[in-house]
A = this chain, B = another copy of it.
Amino acid sequence: MEKISEYKCFGGRQLQYTHRSESLSCDMRFGIYLPPQAEIQNVPVLYWLSGLTCTDENFTQKAGAQRVAAELGIAIVMPDTSPRGDGVPDDENGTYDFGLGAGFYVNATEAPWSDHYRMYDYTVKELPELIEAEFPVTEMRAISGHSMGGHGAITIGLNNPERYTSISAFSPICHPMDCPWGEKALGNYLGSDRTTWAKHDASELVRHAEKQLPLLVDQGLADNFLVEQLKPETLEAAAAESGYALTLRRQEGYDHSYFFIASFIEEHLRFHAKYLADK
């Protein structure tokens, strides 16, 4: 693990590292914000999963999350959104919604993706193990994300309820089994047998959840992707069916951008802080 940069920020430290990932068979970059409290004690961690085309840097630079994390004493870990580098295959058409920057937080089973595209294992196991070995953090984890990363946060959280205290998402892809982004990615990474997709579909998981984690979702109503790709109504219907206590908030006038995330990230951090403190 090698440090790339360090910036003092709200009394804490915004750090960027590169490391060799065994899961992904490539070098990976991540960001971590350590609040001032981490200088004297171990602190809980919020994992933030970004959306299509992002790297570890978008949330780091644009969300303004460090201010509240510094107040609450929460570390934030920001992984990249796919494997990268020489030898990592990309979509041959160079589209933005598959391949590099679009790992979808699954373990690919299909060639040529299965050698590197194992973001599920990386996010659930390898990265937390590294973070917990190398930084002053506890084993208390919350998870959040945006768009593709909102899909990642909900699916990873619900597949591993013993590992996270709480889940939140901005503008998540709620039903990837039935939207263009999801069908393209899951079809290519996991193959044509749709029964293998259900484990990575937020609505399917909420419909069959055995353990409920606290779940907060914010969705802007001026989001260009709302109707075709995001489909929060499917998540809402699944929650109603299974009795899952989902909090889904529709925010008038907000779109898919980081200006939306910045406007509400404080509420998400305070939501997670409550459960990180309770556990």
Chain A residues near B (Cβ < 8 Å): 7-11, 14, 61-62, 64, 66-67, 220, 222, 253-255, 257-260, 262-263, 266
Contacts and interface: CB of A to CB of B under 8 A. Distances in A.
B259 A9 contact: yes
Of the listed residues A8, A61, A62, A266, the one surrounded by the most CB atoms of chain B closer than 10 A to its CB is A8
A263 B10 contact: yes
Copy number of this protein in the oligomer? 2
A242 to B, nearest CB: 32
A8 B253 contact: yes
Contact of A255 (B7, B222, B254, B262): B7
A99 to B, nearest CB: 26
A151 B122 CA distance: 46
A215 to B, nearest CB: 24
B8 A258 contact: no
A259 B14 contact: yes
A254 B10 contact: no
A85 to B, nearest CB: 26
Contacts of A254: 8
A222 B255 CA distance: 37
B8 A262 contact: no
B62 A262 contact: no
A255 B8 contact: yes
A8 B260 contact: yes
